[in-house]
């Protein structure tokens, strides 16, 4: 397993991508990391990636290369011959660690972890910049069950050694376990939650996590469900908001694609009262539910008939197959939407962070977009944050060399959403938004609001039937 925790800056020249960087080809968890880096500038970017071993703290690899203006490069933890657009680190087997990306131009990155023998695992999450790192980081989805458990990478993005305290909470807000670790700059400490909590002697469960430190941290969570994985990045303390947006919510009638929104109350003293509203992609309301989360607590809102830990059902029975959601609360919250594709032994989870009310952009970038006929595709779901006005947007496909491929213009309805499939499938508005046949297997997408209204989006990437997701980057 070659696992990297990566932290990276969108506007900074030094970037850290809290990625669990994985490089492993043996059981029980064979996975490898593939970091897709996009140059946001029209000028060429000189990039340096530095990799650290989590167990020793030692630097194990440094690589330098150039990314064309508006272009992208994938850095693989595996072995191979470097070619244009692809760099290979050849990390040692059974590697777990972190990466720091430096550039003379603004860049963003996504870490895609994939692997399995046979191929069974695919997850993705975004890089972070220095402004996102914090001395308090919240994780609303942490599991410790047989068949479902979390691995948490804690990366020091500061310039001196950090002392970090991690605390696990049950969903009712009760502390179940805690500990202290020391982390050197750029390095990471990786926690196996099942081992920390000791599920051999304690009940299995689900809850939340808080990490505090004397230096800014980036945190990535990799959760395993059976043999499949999903991943997300932890939330800094300032990210909590009383309004959260979710551009991708699924509720198939056969439950073969569903959502589980895990919400964490950041207030240590007061409970949070909230309303979660589900929307059709045309912007009309499907269902709405009121709820309460205890202080330091969390709650899961299932789009299935499964009951939450408060004993209630929050299934949006009128939603249909795909839509969006908005949560409004009287206390600051953070949330992760864990979506599951398939049922039974074939399930594939993927996760993305809920968006705070000011997270939307009028230009949003997606550095990893696939249209690979051998089985790798992208499905970009965007949500209009304006509940009163429609939002005209322009969708631009870019090849890896930075040249434009295809452009579409369409409209998001007030409070509405759309899905842009690279497969050629129709969106819910009846239109097709696929790249051209000359796009190539991988490229990038930029979406621009022509009405100058904010929107958010995620890219769900499917790879041989498995799924991963990451959030678009606001430019």
Cβ(381)–Cβ(419) below 8 Å: yes
Tokens representing 365?
């970038």
Whole-prediction pTM value?
A: 0.86
Question: Higher-confidence residue: 382 or 233?
Answer: 382
Instruction: State yes or no: pLDDT of 233 exceeds 80.
Output: yes
Within 8 A by CB and 6+ apart from 357, the residues are 241, 242, 243, 244, 245, 385
CA distance 54 to 57: 5
- DSSP code of residue 361: B
Q: What does the pLDDT average to over 108-137?
A: 75
Task: Please state, rounded to an integer, the average pLDDT across all residues of the chain.
Answer: 88
Tokens representing 440?
């190539």
- DSSP code of residue 8: -
Cβ(10)–Cβ(132) below 8 Å: no
Tens digit of each residue's pLDDT (9 = 90 or more) over 422-439: 999 999 999 999 999 999
Share of the chain above pLDDT 70, in %: 91
Q: What does the pLDDT average to over 39-62?
A: 89
Cβ(101)–Cβ(107) below 8 Å: yes
**413-448 b/e (C-beta count within 10 Å ≥ 16 → b):** bebbbbbbbbeeeebbeeeebbbeeebbebbbbbbb
Within 8 A by CB and 6+ apart from 63, the residues are 48, 49, 75, 87, 89
CA distance 325 to 302: 12
End-to-end CA distance of the chain: 33
Of 77, 59, 78, 233, residue with least CA distance to 153? 233
pLDDT of residue 30: 57
Domains of the chain: 2-126 (2.60.290.11), 134-239 (2.60.290.11), 241-356 (2.60.290.11), 363-474 (2.60.290.11)
Tokens 């908001």, residue located? 241
CA distance 147 to 143: 10
Count of other CB atoms within 10 angstroms of residue 121 = 26
Q: What does the pLDDT average to over 330-334?
A: 98
């Amino acid at each position: 397993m070659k696992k990297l925790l990566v932290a990276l800056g969108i506007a900074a020249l030094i970037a850290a991508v809290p990625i669990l960087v994985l490089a492993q080809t043996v059981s029980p968890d064979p996975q490898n990391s593939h970091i897709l880096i996009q140059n946001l500038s029209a000028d060429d970017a000189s990039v340096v990636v530095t990799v650290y071993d989590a167990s020793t703290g030692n630097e194990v690899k440094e690589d330098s290369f150039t990314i064309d203006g508006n272009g992208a490069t994938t850095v693989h933890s595996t072995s191979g011959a470097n070619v244009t657009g692809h760099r290979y680190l050849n990390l040692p087997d059974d590697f777990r660690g972190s990466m720091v990306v430096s550039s003379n131009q603004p860049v963003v990155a996504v870490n895609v972890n994939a692997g399995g023998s046979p191929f069974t695992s695919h997850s993705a999450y975004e890089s972070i910049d220095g402004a996102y790192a914090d001395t308090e980081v919240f994780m609303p989805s942490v599991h410790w069950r047989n068949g479902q458990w979390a691995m948490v990478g804690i990366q020091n993005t500061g310039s001196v050694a950090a002392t970090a305290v991690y605390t696990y909470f049950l969903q009712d807000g009760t502390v179940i376990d805690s500990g202290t670790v020391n982390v050197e700059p750029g390095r990471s400490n990786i926690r196996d939650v099942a081992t920390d909590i000791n599920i051999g002697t304690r009940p299995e469960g689900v809850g939340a996590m808080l990490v505090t430190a004397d230096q800014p941290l980036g945190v990535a969570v990799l959760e395993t469900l059976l043999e499949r994985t999903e991943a997300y990045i932890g939330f800094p303390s300032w990210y909590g908001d009383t309004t959260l947006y979710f551009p991708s919510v699924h509720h198939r009638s056969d439950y073969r694609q569903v959502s589980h929104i895990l919400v964490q109350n950041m207030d240590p003293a007061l409970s949070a009262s909230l309303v979660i509203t589900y929307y059709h992609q045309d912007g009309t309301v499907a269902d709405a539910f009121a709820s309460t989360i205890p202080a330091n607590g969390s709650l899961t809102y299932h789009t299935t008939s499964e009951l939450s830990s408060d004993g209630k059902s929050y299934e949006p029975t009128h939603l249909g197959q795909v839509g969006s959601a908005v949560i409004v609360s009287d206390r600051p919250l953070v949330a992760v939407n864990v979506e599951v594709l398939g049922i039974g032994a074939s399930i594939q989870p993927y996760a993305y962070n809920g968006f705070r009310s000011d997270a939307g952009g009028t230009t949003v970038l997606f550095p990893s977009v696939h249209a690979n006929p051998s089985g790798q595709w992208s499905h970009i779901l965007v949500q209009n944050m304006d509940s009163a006005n429609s939002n005209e947007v322009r969708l631009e496909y870019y090849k890896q060399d930075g040249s434009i491929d295809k452009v579409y213009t369409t409209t998001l309805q007030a409070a509405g959403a759309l899905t842009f499939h690279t497969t050629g499938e129709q969106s819910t508005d009846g239109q097709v938004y696929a790249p051209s046949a000359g796009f190539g297997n991988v490229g990038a997408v930029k979406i621009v609001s022509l009405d100058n209204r904010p929107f958010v989006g995620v890219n769900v990437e499917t790879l041989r039937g498995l799924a991963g997701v990451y959030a678009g980057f606001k430019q």
